[in-house]
Every structure is written in C-alpha cells, then in structure tokens.
Amino acid sequence: MALENFAIEARRRSGWEALDLGLVMLRQWRGPVYRAWFATWGLFALALSPLLWWSPVWFGVLVWWLKPLFDRVLLKVYAEATFGAAPTVKEVWRALPGLIRRSGMFAGLTWGRINTARSFLLPIVQLEGQRGREGRARRKLLSRRSLGYAVWLTLACVHFVVFLELSGLLLVEILLPSEAPDLFEWGAYFKGEQSRWAIVFANLAWLAAESMVEPYYVAAGFSLYLARRSELEGWDIEVAFRRLSLRKAAEHAAPLLRVLVAGLFGLLLATAAPQAGWAGEAVKCAPAAPAPSAKATPARETLRKVLQDPVFGCSVPDTKWERRSTDDPKPSPLPAWLRMLGEFGKVLARLLQGAVYVVGAGLIIFLAVLLYRRRNDWLGGPRAAALPETLFGLDVRPESLPADVGAAARALLAGGDVAGSLSLLYRVALSSLLHRRHIDFRSGDTEADCLARTRSKVATGAYAYFSRLLDAWKLTAYAHQPPAAAEIGALCDDWATHFGAGA
C-alpha cells in the first residue's frame, strides 16, 4: 500500500469523526462517484422498470435487494480516489464483471444483505480479499471498537432515506392545486389498496432518496474502515517516519550540493588561471576527515524527533465491558436480611427476563401470523376468500344481472319504478367494482365509504358517474325525493360507457 499517495491525512480519529470524514470524501469526489452511480445503478433501474411494469412493488424490492452490487462500484471509486486517481465510467464498466465474481456477491446478497454493518465490513472482502477463517478473524479484529458506529450509521441512513422519500411525496402533494385529485393516499398505501401509478411515484421518490444517501453510506463505512486500520497498523507513525526521512535526505543533500557547486566553480578558476610548478615537489595529501561521532548518527536524530511528537506523550482512554466474576473468596460483610433481599431481587429479575422473552416471542408469532394472513396483499396474489354474493342486501352475483342493464333500468323507469331503476344501476355498479376491479367492500360500509374505496381504483369518469349514481340513490332511498326522470335516464344511458363490457 503506497501511503505516500494517501489523499487523506493519516492520524487517529474517533468513530464519529471517521463518519464525518465520509461526508468530506463524498463532497471531494462527488463527480466520479455520482457518474459511476448513475451509470450502473441508475441504468439498471431504468432498464428494469419496463420489464416489471406490471408489478412496481416487485421492481422496488428487486432494486433494493441488489444494492450491495452497486455499493461495490462506489467502494472501488472511493478506494482508487483515496490512493491515486478516481476511475472513469469506462473503467468502472470494465471492472464490473470482476466485482461480481471476486467480491463475495453471493454472501452479500444472502446472509450478508441484512447485516447492519455491511458498509464497514465490505472493504475487508472486496479490498483485502479475506475469505473463510482468515476473513472471520480479520472481521473480528477490525470490528472491535468500530462495529457499533457502523450499526448506528446503517440505522441513521435508513431513517434519512425514509425521511427524504416522504418529504418528496409531501412536497408534490403541497404543490398540487386544490382542485386536482389526490395523487397519493396514505391510508390506501398502507392498506395495500394504492393504484399502480401511486406506487410508481413512490418508487421514484425512493430512488431519488437512495441516490442521495447511499454514496455517503458507502463513504462513511470506508472511512471508518480506514480509521480502524490506521489505528491498528500505525499509519500515522509510518507517514511521520517517511516525512522525516525525506526531510533528512533533503537536509543532507543541500550541503552536498553546495560543496559540488563550490568545487566546480574552483575547478573553473583553476583551469582559467596560469599555474606555476616546481620540479620534485611532493604531492600533499589532504588530511583525513574525522570519524563521525556515534552519538550524532542520523538514525538517532530521527528517533529523537519522532519521540518528541505529542502523540507519544498523550494518554488514550480505552473502555470496554467485561463480565464480572461471580467468585467472591471474601465473606460478604452484608447482613443476612440484605442478602436475602438481594437473592429475592435476582429471582424477580429472572422472572421479568422470562416474561420479556415470552412477550417478545408472542409478538414475533403475532407478526408472523399477520404477515401470513396478509400475504396476498403484499405479493399481489389471488384472493384467499370467496367473493360475497350479496352486499348491503343487494344481489351482486354476475349471473343475477340482466344482459342489457341500461335497457332494463329504462324499462323500470318507464314503468314508474324509480327506486327499482336506481337500485338496479347501483347493484350492477357494485358487482362490476367487486368482480372486475377487485375492490374490497365491507358489510358496514356506507355509500360514502364505497365511494372512497373506488377513488384510486377506477378512472376519473367512472368515479364521477358512480358519485352521481350514489347521490341519486341516497335521495330516492332515504329522503324519498327522487331526482328528475331526465337525470335518471342519463344515468341509464351512461352506464355502458363506464361500467359496460367495453369500459
């Protein structure tokens, strides 16, 4: 490792300071980082969206699950930028097959996918190539005093992504005019009744949030890894030694250069001036230089300067948790009643601990049963229960309806049965929404509840027609004030447009 090319100041850093350094790294190399990110993860999401257009939920799940692959691309950019020059997009694409084969992708997409410290442990696999027993020992060594920071980093970044996604959705909702229909319904979203376009819009907001947070997440994990390695391997001391050696080399080279210049200048003067010589004169030798003192060697001087550095004179507090030994060779000086109280407290603590385990297990079983019962809502599968045959006392079976609903409703209206005509239109609309649009109506729903459940599941024209039909039905059934015959006739004529076979 060429520490002389290290682009970051090698010194001791705390865990929080190392996480802050990740933000500085992202700000410094944001150009190559985001170019590599959008050239890989962005193109992947763009290419996958038309293939999974039928299920935007599965699109979001698949893109989220494959994020570790693109985290390796970001780590490659950060590593090469830290120890040299950042790679170009072409170099990233050229290195992508090697990243898939030799960076532990199988583990990263299986048991390592839910590891809350994966950004900190990723450089061990990708940059050091540690596998098997050596990899486990290396991870255990580097995780001491740093694993907790990596876990908190993951939790913080998850909350940042959710916050940014919800903020983007709310911002669009605020900017929409009041006359426009709601673009995103929170109640329908959490019940699994949201329309496809609303889920697509939520996916876009999530992609934008991930693009802002994920590059920092990888950078912070890498900076935490560098800080831990610098602490263990003494990178700051090595860099200090190298700088001192370069300085000493420069100090020794300067007098030698001056001597060479003076010698060349004297040689030029000697060759230019006339010289006088005497025969038989003995050649005088220059006296030998005195041997250097053993106390003033360059190595001793370098060590003296290094030891004068404040790092060697400071105390670094190191705290860790250790289990206290239960063996007490000395007799306890406490009275008997206090010892009994302590034993009672231990028993009570064990009971409370068991109660916590039981309650926790019950909550896990409850969530598992709830997820199993709602699995069709999450996975978009077929309904588990059979569709009801009646709703609010009305027969909604498709075989019980007339072939030409509009003509049958007009016949009832012509015979003076206004309530029967509106009842037929209402019954056919409920049957169509139940069997064709797959809207879950409940036995206790009112007309307003039925209208609210259809808002995001039908087109705007069909929603407006269903609203007019419900208003006419409520005036006739409850207020006994049926609307004009022309209005009911218009409802009979418009039925085929919005709820017919070709709608």
Alpha carbons 69 and 43: distance in angstroms, whole number: 13
- Integer angstrom CA distances of residue 9 from 5, 64, 354, 447: 11, 34, 50, 69
CA torsion sign, 229 to 232 to 236 to 238?
negative
| Geometric angle at alpha carbon 445, from 442 and 449, rounded to 5° | 115
Which among 98-102, 169-173, 294-298, 357-361 has the top mean pLDDT? 357-361
Alpha carbons 229 and 120: distance in angstroms, whole number: 12
Tokens of 267: 């040689």
**Spans of all domains in the chain:** 3-233, 390-499
Alpha carbons 22 and 5: distance in angstroms, whole number: 19
Q: What average pLDDT does the segment 469-478 reach? A: 79
Tokens of 475: 């005036």
Tokens of 377: 């809502």
| CA proximity to 147, closest of 218, 51, 228, 230 | 228
Predicted local distance difference test score (pLDDT) of residue 38: 93
Which among 5-9, 179-183, 359-363 has the top mean pLDDT? 359-363
| Under 8 Å between Cβ of 157 and 19 | no
Q: Which pLDDT band holds residue 33 (cuts at 50, 70, 90)?
A: very high
Q: Which residues contact 402 (CB under 8 A, 6 or more apart)?
A: 408, 424
pLDDT above 70 coverage of the chain, percent? 71
For the stretch 239-276, pLDDT in tens is: 656 666 666 665 555 565 666 666 665 665 555 444 44
Predicted local distance difference test score (pLDDT) of residue 82: 85
Predicted local distance difference test score (pLDDT) of residue 158: 93
What is the value of pTM for the model shown? 0.50
| Under 8 Å between Cβ of 26 and 64 | no
| Under 8 Å between Cβ of 18 and 226 | yes
Tokens of 343: 């034993």
